[in-house]
Amino acid sequence: MKRLLIVLFCIFSVFAAYATDAEANECIKEAAELHNKKSFRKAAARYMDAVLLADTPALKANALIAASLSYRNAKLYGKEFDCIERLIKEHIAHVDFQRAIDRQFEIADTFFDGHRDTAVFWLPFIKDSDRTREFYETALQNASCAKQAPNAKLRLGNIYLDDNKPEQALPFFREIISMHPETEAARYASLELMYTYMQLARRGDGDGAWSRLAKSALTDFLAQYPNDPEVPWAKKALDEINTLDAKRMHGLGAYYHRTGRNDLAERYLARVIRDHGETEDAKPSERLLAQIDEDYTPPPPDAPRKEKYVHTFKRNTIPIERNPILVVPENSDGKWLLPIRDLKADIHLDSNKDVPERMVNKDEF
């Protein structure tokens, strides 16, 4: 009896499968007629019904392909993209992967250029949401090394910049420069990277990280593209970064001097004189350092300051600060009365040991 039930169940399942595929074929036939009548939206809907009814993977894949073509003719490129994505994820053996990826990037470019699907066909002025970022990210996940990848990453970075998310845009620019260095997109990525670092440094750069990154990016650009039309701007931006960095270090030196930590103040002031001798903060740093260090004699006010100043630090024990300072009152335009410390930092060093040589040029001690 048990075996008989199993046999009957198998026979019923086979007939049910054939009946489901038969119904799917009927939907495909109806959809083809609608497509020929140029009712592309209705045809696509019927093709999607066939996808639900079909049991055979090949039949499902064929219905999805037909639906994507109907959506393309209806200018519903977002739904076409979704069909292609299902084909890649669920029926990769039944599609031309390269053509599918190329089409995904084409749709993403179309949305980047301003296309939006119509939400309701009888109200063509009501558009669906912007899915540009989603399409580029999905296409890059499917083929991160495609020939379209450099431009796609560049556009994704610009989209994040437009959304006021610069820190999410930076990885795309860096990836283009490292993975696609010989492309035109790499040049534009270098420019975007420099400009973004500059903007972040201008907003506030308590620990000097954005300034250092901007300086590195500007230096690399000048070395990579010495004859580029943007070289004058890059040189001007490099001067601005040096000025911002000098202002920050002079403020830290003044703060430490005011709080009686002349050992740390010496280091910051000497760095201003050594690394940024041509900035406006060099002269006040020289005067303040002369008050702290009796062995230092500042040059005359009108003396040229092109050569780097070398200052020998005294080998004294310097206690390590647990939480480095991000902003000091001198650099806050009167906003803060106390320094703002980096509470996320967790430095564990023995303050009874000498500071190693490699830490002399660090911003935090």
pLDDT single digits (tens) 89-137: 999 999 999 999 999 999 999 999 998 988 766 566 677 788 999 999 9
Q: Count Cα atoms within 13 angstroms, Cβ side, for 167.
A: 4
- Do 138 and 9 belong together in one domain? yes
Please say if the pLDDT value at position 313 is more than 50.
no
Residue 162 resides in a domain: no
Under the banding of pLDDT at 50, 70 and 90, the label for residue 344 is low
Mean pLDDT of 75-91: 94
Under the banding of pLDDT at 50, 70 and 90, the label for residue 14 is very low
Residue 319 resides in a domain: yes
- Do 229 and 127 belong together in one domain? no
Please say if the pLDDT value at position 186 is more than 90.
yes
- Mean pLDDT, the chain, rounded, equals 80
What pLDDT, in 10s, does the model give residues 233-242?
A: 999 888 888 8
| Token pair listed for 179 | 């993975």
pLDDT at 346: 47
Residue 172 resides in a domain: no
Please say if the pLDDT value at position 138 is more than 90.
yes
Under the banding of pLDDT at 50, 70 and 90, the label for residue 349 is very low
Residue 148 resides in a domain: no
pLDDT at 300: 67
Which among 126, 139, 136 is positioned nearest to 158, based on CA atoms?
A: 136
- Do 225 and 129 belong together in one domain? no
Helix runs in the chain, H state only: 2-36, 40-53, 57-73, 77-90, 97-112, 132-142, 149-162, 166-179, 184-203, 209-224, 231-258, 262-275, 282-292
- Do 27 and 138 belong together in one domain? yes
What pLDDT, in 10s, does the model give residues 142-157?
A: 998 899 999 999 999 9
Under the banding of pLDDT at 50, 70 and 90, the label for residue 190 is very high
Please say if the pLDDT value at position 161 is more than 80.
yes
Which among 199, 311, 301, 327 is positioned nearest to 263, based on CA atoms?
A: 311
Mean pLDDT of 190-218: 85
The answer to whether the Cα torsion of 227, 230, 235, 238 is positive or negative is negative
Task: Name residue 123's beta-bridge partners.
Answer: 120
Structural contact between residues 239 and 275, judged by C-beta atoms closer than 8 angstroms? no
**CB neighbours of residue 245 within 10 Å:** 24
Q: Which of 142, 171, 187 is the last residue of a domain?
A: 142
Q: Which of 127, 142, 157 is the last residue of a domain?
A: 142
**Which residue range forms the structural domain that includes residue 232?**
204-359
Q: Which of 92, 126, 142 is the last residue of a domain?
A: 142
- Pick the range with the lowest mean pLDDT from 21-25, 275-279, 338-342: 338-342
The pairing of beta strand 340-341 with beta strand 325-327: antiparallel
- Do 227 and 126 belong together in one domain? no
| Token pair listed for 125 | 């002025």
- Do 120 and 233 belong together in one domain? no
Under the banding of pLDDT at 50, 70 and 90, the label for residue 354 is very low
Residue 195 resides in a domain: no
Which among 121, 125, 57 is positioned nearest to 89, based on CA atoms?
A: 57
**CB neighbours of residue 143 within 10 Å:** 19
How many domains does the chain contain in total?
Answer: 2
Q: What is the CATH number of the domain that holds 82?
A: 1.25.40.10
Residue 119 resides in a domain: yes
pLDDT at 304: 60
Residue 192 resides in a domain: no
- Do 260 and 345 belong together in one domain? yes
pLDDT at 286: 81
Got the DSSP string for 284-353? HHHHHHHHH-TT--PPPTTS---SPP--PPP----PPPSS-EEE-GGGTTTS-SSPEE-TT------TTS
| Token pair listed for 152 | 């796609």
* Residue scoring higher pLDDT (299 or 254): 254
pLDDT at 248: 83
- The phi, psi pair for 296, rounded to 5°, reads -100, 130
- Do 228 and 135 belong together in one domain? no
Residue 43 resides in a domain: yes
Amino acid type, 72: R
Structural contact between residues 142 and 88, judged by C-beta atoms closer than 8 angstroms? yes
- Do 120 and 40 belong together in one domain? yes
- Do 228 and 335 belong together in one domain? yes
- Do 209 and 355 belong together in one domain? yes
Angle (CA) 18 19 22, round 5°: 85
- Do 219 and 345 belong together in one domain? yes
